[in-house]
Structure 1
Amino acid sequence: MEFKDLEIFQLVAEKGTITGAARELNYVQSNITSRIRKLEAEMKTPLFNRHRRGMSLTPEGKRLLTYTSKLLSLKEDMEQSVQTDQEPSGKLEIGTIESVIHLPKILSSYVKQYKKVDLSLFTGVTESLVSDVLNHKLDGAFVTERDFPSDIISHNVFEEELVIVSDTNLSSVEALQDKTVLCFSEGCGYRARLMNWFKDQQMKPSKIMEFGTLETILRSAVVGLGVAFVPISEVKKLHEERQLYFHSLPEQYSKIRTVFIRRKDTHLTPTIQKFIDTIEENEFTIASM
């Protein structure tokens, strides 16, 4: 078995078609097909289900993909661990929650200094990003602080305050029980904080609507679709323009820390080390009104 076979297998699994993988690698399709068949022969089991729309992993293929991600990550660590003085370069895949207000400053500072790095950014909720880091799908991620598995190490980025926003001034927080909550999907740290508050108040929101972006959540709150629990830094302008009003919750629910996480057992390549250095070189304070 060759590493190249595993790389091709991983790419076909990602693209879902031989054609997509061949285009990405600039290979002829027959080369990709023969490599996959060779790997299946070595594994003595089909790794893909073939169908009209493309290819999907069999249960055995899914198990192999887990090991493949780990092996290819270890290979990259091995190659770079003996080149500690090299200039940061190559791929850097970072995940982030939607509302990291200082992210543009961090990214701008990093890419301007290290031009050989091919940095890609992926968004998601905290729970899924933690999983992607653990499974070697991401080199690191910006997430809300929580209890992380022992395989994860975190670096502080900044703290800020979360507030409930609505299109009108609510007479009391009890009125929230009759409002629709606008939020990200399950696994979002902000949503978990707000649901804990509801639970502790022995209250339940009348309805929950899930959205994919913070911008859509805020626009929906402005037009009165419901209320949202968001960083205060994201609603300053809307508050000043009286498009949204904010309502504070006790500190145990509202004060939240954003951290950068990575796998503890992964070798710190110059590429990721300099990224962490860039984060730590910037000092951020708690955002407030």
Structure 2
Amino acid sequence: MDLHALKIFQTVTQTGSITRAAQELNYAQSNVTTKIQQLEQHFQTALFYRHNRGITLTAKGRTLLDYTERIFQLIEESSKAMRDEDTPSGPLRIGSMETTAAVRLPDALAQYHHRYPGVDLTLVTGPTEQHLHSVLHYELDGAFVAGPVDHPELAQETVLQEELALITDAAHPPIGSVKELCNRTLLVFRSGCSYRAKLQQWLHHEGVYPDKMMEFGSLEAILGCARAGLGISLLPLSVVERQVADGTLRVHPASYPFARVDTVFIRRKDALMTAALLRFIELFR
């Protein structure tokens, strides 16, 4: 098997274009095309559909991509295993929901960095759905996401439970029922966020269809707009404790079972458990 050809194939799938792949790899476009054709000849199947908008993976192409990612992950793990020692070192890529990263992780991350300065820790924030994809595709070593997670290739451990509440400006009158959200603007993270999904489940359960839903890319933006009276959001109480204490935000209880969400740490079952990852997990246990 030609690993070089597989790397080119992987880059083509990532960029979605032979032209862009050639530019990224600094190869002639004809060389990239030739390597793809050689792979198709080797496997005796088409790996891409060619059309006016570019290329799309065939079913066989998706299968090969899955094996390709696993092959390169095994190569990377073999290098890590040869270097891995009892003292954690090297890269560690962790994902987290933004709310967890803002409130729950700073002290623990500072403690970890102090204990293991040789670890090059990278923290990526984003919604649960994004992190599930990244862990499954070996792009992250692990991630804090909303649980429970039901996937045969992932291991999970519950690290904490968050209590959720509706968040409004301080002057907002008490919210007695979720039906009062019918004519209000909802402030949410982008699609894939577990809190947004929980809010939508609650609304759907009560037959409530709000007038408008505004998406934001950061926690601070949502909190700022809530303070200004722009709309209502569903967030963990831990995120707004300071703002509620200083009187700039108000919380309104959520109904069971929409008032609780577990935060779990996920990792691939087949991924190498490096010393850096093991110590990281032990810290949160």
| Residue type at the aligned position of 2:162 | E
1:97 matched residue in structure 2: 97
Structure 2 length as normaliser, TM-score? 0.79
Match status 1:260 vs 2:265: yes
TM alignment of 1:75-154, pairs within 5 A: 75-81=75-81, 85-100=85-100, 101-154=103-156
Q: Deviations over 1:172-227 (max 9, x none)?
A: 33322221111112322111222222233332222211111111111111112110
C-alpha distance in 1 between matches for 2:113 and 2:49: 38
The offset of 1:120, in angstroms, is: 2.3
More displaced 10-residue stretch of structure 1: 145-154 or 77-86:
77-86
C-alpha distance in 2 between matches for 1:190 and 1:85: 39
| Residue type at the aligned position of 1:276 | I
C-alpha distance in 1 between matches for 2:257 and 2:22: 51
C-alpha distance in 2 between matches for 1:65 and 1:261: 23
The offset of 1:20, in angstroms, is: 4.3
C-alpha distance in 2 between matches for 1:112 and 1:48: 51
Structure 1 length as normaliser, TM-score? 0.78
The offset of 1:35, in angstroms, is: 7.3
Query: Among 256, 279, 282, which residue is 1:274 paired with?
Result: 279
The 3 A distance-change label for structure 1 pair 199 and 213 is same
| Residue type at the aligned position of 2:168 | S
- State the number of aligned residues: 270
C-alpha distance in 1 between matches for 2:99 and 2:25: 33
2:224 matched residue in structure 1: 219
Contact 2:13 2:57 in 1 (8 A): no
1:158 matched residue in structure 2: 160
C-alpha distance in 2 between matches for 1:12 and 1:114: 37
1:67 matched residue in structure 2: 67
Match status 1:173 vs 2:173: no
The offset of 1:260, in angstroms, is: 0.9
The offset of 1:38, in angstroms, is: 4.1
| Residue type at the aligned position of 1:172 | I
C-alpha distance in 1 between matches for 2:207 and 2:152: 33
The 3 A distance-change label for structure 1 pair 274 and 40 is farther
C-alpha distance in 2 between matches for 1:269 and 1:169: 50
The offset of 1:72, in angstroms, is: 1.1
The 3 A distance-change label for structure 1 pair 117 and 238 is same
2:246 matched residue in structure 1: 241
The unaligned stretches of length 5 or more in structure 2 are none
Structure 1 stretches of 4+ with a deviation exceeding 6 A read 45-49
Contact 2:22 2:32 in 1 (8 A): no
Q: Deviations over 1:218-272 (max 9, x none)?
A: 1111112110011112212222332221101134212222111001222312222
The unaligned stretches of length 5 or more in structure 1 are 23-28, 281-289
Query: Among 176, 185, 188, which residue is 2:190 paired with?
Result: 185
Kindly report the root-mean-square deviation, in angstroms, between the aligned alpha carbons of the 2 structures: 3.1
The offset of 1:98, in angstroms, is: 1.0
Q: Secondary structure at the match of 1:266?
A: coil
Contact 2:47 2:57 in 1 (8 A): no
The 3 A distance-change label for structure 1 pair 154 and 18 is same
